Amino acid sequence: MVRLVVRLLINAVALWLTTLLLAPNVMVEPYPPGGASESVLTFLLVAFIFGLVNGVIGTAVRVIAFPLYLLTLGLLALVVNGLLLLLVAWLTNLLGFGLYIEGFGWGVLGALLLGVISWLLGILLRPWTRREQRP
């Protein structure tokens, strides 16, 4: 359970840093009235939705498109991750808050940056994200 919460916080912080670096082309619109607590809640919800979309739809796409991943030497992953981020933006916009992305190129760049920042934060917080060894 702790591992899940830490991964959610890592993704939320990575999303926040990504929006800071790519603003105004990638940004998160918080719940109204848009105070600090609403912003934090919005980042956590968007990170949770991204985790669900990436875990369910992303896994299915990666399994089905595995031969294309091999043919493109993994470059298709950039396109798939960008499309998944755009899907999250679309889903959160339906809910009236969330992620706004200017276009497909910004979606791919945002997904790439989000992945790199999440990876770096995951390395820093490895003791809390590591699975426990069973004897």
Does the residue 51 lie in any domain? Answer: yes
For residues 66 and 133, which has the higher predicted lDDT (pLDDT)? 66
Say how many domains are in the chain: 1
DSSP string, 63-94: HHTHHHHHHTTTTHHHHHHHHHHHHHHHHHHH
Does the residue 135 lie in any domain? Answer: no
Band (131; pLDDT cuts 50, 70, 90): low
Does the residue 87 lie in any domain? Answer: yes
Residue 14 has pLDDT above 90, yes or no: yes
Does the residue 16 lie in any domain? Answer: yes
Give the mean model confidence (pLDDT) for residues 82-96: 93
> For residue 98, what pLDDT is reported?
84
pLDDT, one tens digit per residue, over 71-86 is: 999 899 999 999 999 9
Does the residue 89 lie in any domain? Answer: yes
Using a 10 angstrom Cβ sphere, with 0-12 exposed, 13-18 middle and 19 or more buried, the burial of residue 129 is: middle
Does the residue 1 lie in any domain? Answer: no
Does the residue 2 lie in any domain? Answer: no
- Containing structural domain, residue 38: 12-129
> For residue 132, what pLDDT is reported?
63
Least Cα distance to 18 among 28, 8, 9, 7 occurs for 28
Least Cα distance to 6 among 108, 132, 128, 127 occurs for 128
